[in-house]
Amino acid sequence: MTPSLLELFEEADYCLWTDILQKSNTMVKSVQTEIKKGTLEIEYQVTEKGKAKTQRYAKLLLTKEEANSLLTKRASKQLEIVRILSETVDRAMPVRDLLEIAETTRSALKTLREKGIIKEFEQEIYRDPLAGKSFERTEPLSLTDHQKLVVHRVKPYINKNEHEVFLLHGVTGSGKTEVYLQVIQQALELNKEAIMLVPEIALTPQMVERFKGRFGSDVAVLHSGLSMGEKYDEWRKISRKEVKVVVGARSAVFAPFDRIGMIIIDEEHETSYKQEESPRYHARDVAIERARYHQCPVILGSATPLLESFARAQKGVYQLLTLDERVQNRPMPDVHVIDMREELRAGNRSMFSTTLFEKLKERLEKGEQSVLFLNRRGHSTFVMCRDCGYVATCRSCDISLTYHRSQNRLKCHYCGHEEPMPRTCQECGSEHIRFFGSGTQKVEEELTRVLPEARVIRMDVDTTRKKGSHEQLLTSFGKKEADILLGTQMIAKGLDFPSITLVGVLAADSMLHIPDFRSAERTFQLLEQVSGRAGRHELAGEVIIQSYTPEHYSIELVKSHDYHAFFQTEMQQRKFAQYPPYVYMTLITISHQELMKVIDVAETVVHFLRRELSPETTVLGPVASPLARIKDRYRYQCMIKYKNEPKLRQVLLEVREHYQRELNKGLQLTIDLQPYLFT
pLDDT in tens, 209-244: 899 999 999 999 988 778 888 888 999 999 999 999
Q: Is 175 exposed, middle or buried (0-12, 13-18, 19+ CB in 10 A)?
A: buried
Rounded Cα distance between 82 and 86, Å, is: 6
**440-480: per-residue pLDDT in tens?**
888 888 899 999 999 999 987 777 777 777 778 888 888 89
How does DSSP assign 43-111, residue by residue? Answer: ---PPP----EEEEEEEE-S-HHHHHHTS-TT-HHHHHHHHHHHTSGGGEEEHHHHHHHHT--HHHHHH
Rounded Cα distance between 394 and 629, Å, is: 10
Rounded Cα distance between 222 and 249, Å, is: 7
b/e code 432-466 from CB counts within 10 Å (16+ = b): ebebebbbbbbbbeebeeebeebebbbbbebbbee
| Angle 400-405-411 from CA coordinates, rounded to 5° | 30
Where is average pLDDT lowest: 188-197, 294-303, 582-591, 625-634? 625-634
Tell me what pLDDT residue 164 has.
Answer: 97
| Angle 217-218-223 from CA coordinates, rounded to 5° | 90
Q: What is the mean pLDDT of residues 246-274?
A: 94
pLDDT at residue 5 greater than cutoff 90: no
Rounded Cα distance between 106 and 78, Å, is: 10
Q: What percent of the chain has pLDDT over 70?
A: 95
pLDDT at residue 379 greater than cutoff 50: no
Tell me what pLDDT residue 493 has.
Answer: 63
For the chain, domains (ranges, CATH) are 3-37 (no CATH), 53-124 (no CATH), 145-329 (3.40.50.300), 334-381+437-573 (3.40.50.300), 584-672 (3.30.70.600)
- Cβ neighbors of 298 (< 8 A, separation 6 or more) are 163, 164, 165, 166, 263, 264, 265, 287, 288, 291
Rounded Cα distance between 144 and 150, Å, is: 10
Where is average pLDDT lowest: 287-301, 308-322, 340-354? 340-354
| Angle 261-265-268 from CA coordinates, rounded to 5° | 150
Rounded Cα distance between 81 and 12, Å, is: 57
Q: In this structure, how many other beta carbons lie within 10 angstroms of the beta carbon of residue 317? A: 11
What residues pair up with 630 in beta bridges, in sequence order? 633
How does DSSP assign 445-498, residue by residue? Answer: HHHHHH-TT--EEEESTTTT-STTHHHHHHHHHHTTS-SEEEESGGGSSS---T
Rounded Cα distance between 628 and 398, Å, is: 6
Phi/psi at 430 (5° precision): -65, 150
**25-50: per-residue pLDDT in tens?**
778 888 888 887 888 888 777 666 66
pLDDT at residue 553 greater than cutoff 90: yes
Q: In this structure, how many other beta carbons lie within 10 angstroms of the beta carbon of residue 193? A: 25
pLDDT at residue 311 greater than cutoff 90: yes
> Per-residue confidence at 436, pLDDT binned at 50, 70, 90?
low
User: Distances from the Cα of 185 to the Cαs of 188, 192, 255, 337, in angstroms?
Assistant: 5, 9, 18, 42
- The pTM for the full model equals 0.82
Tell me what pLDDT residue 361 has.
Answer: 95
Q: For residue 460, give the nearest of 357, 356, 350, 373 by alpha carbon.
A: 373
Tell me what pLDDT residue 608 has.
Answer: 95
In whole angstroms, how large is the CA radius of gyration of the chain?
Answer: 30
Q: For residue 475, give the nearest of 457, 450, 455, 449 by alpha carbon.
A: 457
Task: Specify whether the CB–CB gap between 295 and 261 falls below 8 A.
Answer: no
Rounded Cα distance between 583 and 114, Å, is: 77
**649-659: per-residue pLDDT in tens?**
999 999 998 88
Where is average pLDDT lowest: 23-27, 106-110, 180-184? 23-27
Task: Specify whether the CB–CB gap between 357 and 450 falls below 8 A.
Answer: yes
Q: In this structure, how many other beta carbons lie within 10 angstroms of the beta carbon of residue 613? A: 19
Rounded Cα distance between 34 and 560, Å, is: 62
pLDDT at residue 615 greater than cutoff 80: yes
Task: Specify whether the CB–CB gap between 544 and 356 falls below 8 A.
Answer: yes
What is the chain's mean pLDDT, rounded? 88
Rounded Cα distance between 593 and 597, Å, is: 8
